[in-house]
Chain A
Amino acid sequence: MYPAKFDYLAPESLEEALSILSERGNEVKILAGGQSLIPMMKLRFARPSTLMDINRLPGIDGLERSNGDITIGALVRHNDVVKSDVAKANHTVASAAPWVADPIVRNLGTVAGSLAHHDPEGDWASVMLACGAEVALTSSGGERTLPITEFLVDMFATSCRPDEMVTKVRVPAHSSRGGGNYQKLERKVGDYATVGVATSLELGDDGKIASAGIALTSVYAHNLKVGEAEEVLKGEAPDEDLFAEAGRIAAAACDPTSDTRGSAQYKRHIVDVFTQRGLAESLEIAQEGGS
């Protein structure tokens, strides 16, 4: 299968890339890992007239810890996250990385690219929604940072303007009283999630839940942050009953469709179970001192 014809550009500096975007951003699609984009181009769901390969840009492949955040540069591959000690500072991120796609796809596919592509069944968007990540967008005019909730608009749609590119994703690191987890049910390695649930918890000095994040994959038209369940957890002492309540709320909030991966009823049940399980795992990490 071949994509429709396109012009190929491979700028060698960020300035060059941004100037291309400011001149003709409307016709340009950015190629990072290409593990979602190239299959879509081959199926001709995507027909960009110009492909701008950013793999030769220096300085955007850093995975670093800074001021309590993990920053994930635009060219950080899923597998870089799997192997990284830095990424372990956020337990939800570290837990999700080995479940993204398959080992070979993980060698090329990028975290930032996955968010920019915003496949509604992608894993990373749920992780970032649960953890309250931010996305840095750069244009020749400068950089702006958006909370993930504002960056993600709808399936395959983000707030990234045609003259901008995602250069960084910032995820808060968990404190020593924090924990996180990603639960994913998949039929086989490399398949989309049948159901995915990202959770994140921070406990206060009193052992009660200071903040909570819950987001769901593949059970709604897009990755779904379950604000109501997060609010129910906040300020409460964590226990099984509380997590069961969060599970019920998450299961009620989602709207899965019946398909080859399972019936809607089944998926809703898994959301309930995974939410409780993910919160329990997150709590265990938080109570063990975030290690």
Chain B
Amino acid sequence: MNITVTVNGTEHSADVEPRRLLVDFIRYTLKLTGTHIGCDTTSCGVCTVLVDGTPVKSCTMFAVQANGRSITTVEGLKQNGSLAPIQEAFKEHHGLQCGFCTPAMMLVGTALIAENPDPTEDDVRWAISGNLCRCTGYVNIVKSIQAAATATREGASS
């Protein structure tokens, strides 16, 4: 089936088998390997991408379902060639250890901040509760997302 999907602002058309998973379409068809595959069973959340701004687990959606939709992957976070506030914050606050869960954590953080510009620690922990970090580096992930929220607020008001 022929589908057209906008990924990080660029339109892509491709012929895909209906059973092609969205994560594999992103990784193998579009060659955007920032989106990772972890458990492949809807548990770990490392394959999270934003579909029309909403976080979804791309191992549990077929590419054909994304036809006509707009997707953001980690590669789409940077703005005008420089790091987005969420990326700066993860770098600054050491919000990653091995880095495997990081793309998903940053996307979930981005969606959270869009909805709640000043999230409490509880809000952040709740929002990322569908995403596992096997390094268990949650403390700094939470700090990073809160710092990104602060930076985003300050950026918006300046």
A2-B41 in contact (CB<8A): no
A34 beta carbon closer than 8 Å to chain B: yes
Residues of B within 8 A of A105 (CB): 42, 57, 60, 130
B97 beta carbon closer than 8 Å to chain A: no
Residue in B18, B21, B54, B130 whose CB lies within 8 Å of A102: B130
CB within 8 Å of A: which B55-70 residues: 55-57, 60-62, 64-65, 67
Q: With contacts A8-B64, A39-B60, A104-B56 known, is A2 near B19, CB below 8 A?
A: yes
B48 beta carbon closer than 8 Å to chain A: yes
A35 beta carbon closer than 8 Å to chain B: yes
A108 beta carbon closer than 8 Å to chain B: yes
B42-A35 in contact (CB<8A): yes
Proximity string of chain B (16-29) to chain A, C-beta cutoff 8 Å, 1 when within and 0 when not: 01110100000000
Residues of A within 8 A of B127 (CB): 103
B113 beta carbon closer than 8 Å to chain A: no
Residues of B within 8 A of A3 (CB): 19
**What CA separation (Å) do A2 and B128 show in the bound complex?**
27
CB within 8 Å of A: which B16-51 residues: 17-19, 21, 40-43, 45, 48
**What CA separation (Å) do A4 and B129 show in the bound complex?**
31
**What CA separation (Å) do A10 and B18 show in the bound complex?**
11
Residues of B within 8 A of A8 (CB): 1, 18, 62, 64
A108-B60 in contact (CB<8A): yes
Proximity string of chain A (1-45) to chain B, C-beta cutoff 8 Å, 1 when within and 0 when not: 111111110100000000000000000000100110011001000
A189 beta carbon closer than 8 Å to chain B: yes
CB within 8 Å of B: which A102-148 residues: 102-105, 107-108
A104-B40 in contact (CB<8A): no
Residue in B18, B41, B54 whose CB lies within 8 Å of A51: B18
Q: How many A-B residue pairs have CB under 8 A?
A: 73
A189-B129 in contact (CB<8A): yes
**What CA separation (Å) do A189 and B127 show in the bound complex?**
11
A68 beta carbon closer than 8 Å to chain B: no
Q: Interface residue tally of chain A, by bracket?
A: 20 to 34
Instruction: Find the B residue at minimum CB distance from A53.
Output: B65
Proximity string of chain A (237-279) to chain B, C-beta cutoff 8 Å, 1 when within and 0 when not: 0000000000000000000000000000000000000000000
Q: B21 to chain A: closest CB distance in Å?
A: 7
B108 beta carbon closer than 8 Å to chain A: yes
Instruction: Find the B residue at minimum CB distance from A55.
Output: B65
**What CA separation (Å) do A38 and B56 show in the bound complex?**
13
A207 beta carbon closer than 8 Å to chain B: no
A58 beta carbon closer than 8 Å to chain B: no
Residues of A within 8 A of B65 (CB): 31, 34, 53, 55
B61-A5 in contact (CB<8A): no
A190 beta carbon closer than 8 Å to chain B: yes
Instruction: Find the A residue at minimum CB distance from B104.
Output: A104
Instruction: Find the B residue at minimum CB distance from A79.
Output: B54
B108-A190 in contact (CB<8A): no
Q: With contacts A1-B40, A108-B56 known, is A103 near B19, CB below 8 A?
A: no
Q: B67 to chain A: closest CB distance in Å?
A: 8
Q: Contact residues of A with B, CB < 8 Å?
A: 1-8, 10, 31, 34-35, 38-39, 42, 51, 53, 55, 101-105, 107-108, 189-190
- A1-B40, A5-B19, A6-B19 given. 17 additional CB < 8 A pairs? A1-B41, A5-B18, A7-B18, A8-B18, A38-B42, A42-B41, A51-B18, A53-B64, A102-B130, A103-B130, A104-B55, A104-B56, A104-B57, A104-B130, A104-B131, A105-B60, A190-B130
What are 25 sample pairs from A and B whose C-beta atoms fall under 8 A apart? A5-B17, A5-B18, A8-B64, A34-B62, A34-B65, A38-B61, A39-B41, A42-B40, A42-B41, A51-B18, A53-B64, A53-B65, A101-B130, A102-B45, A103-B108, A103-B129, A104-B108, A104-B130, A105-B57, A105-B130, A107-B54, A108-B56, A108-B60, A190-B43, A190-B130
Q: Contact residues of B with A, CB < 8 Å?
A: 1, 17-19, 21, 40-43, 45, 48, 54-57, 60-62, 64-65, 67, 108, 126-131
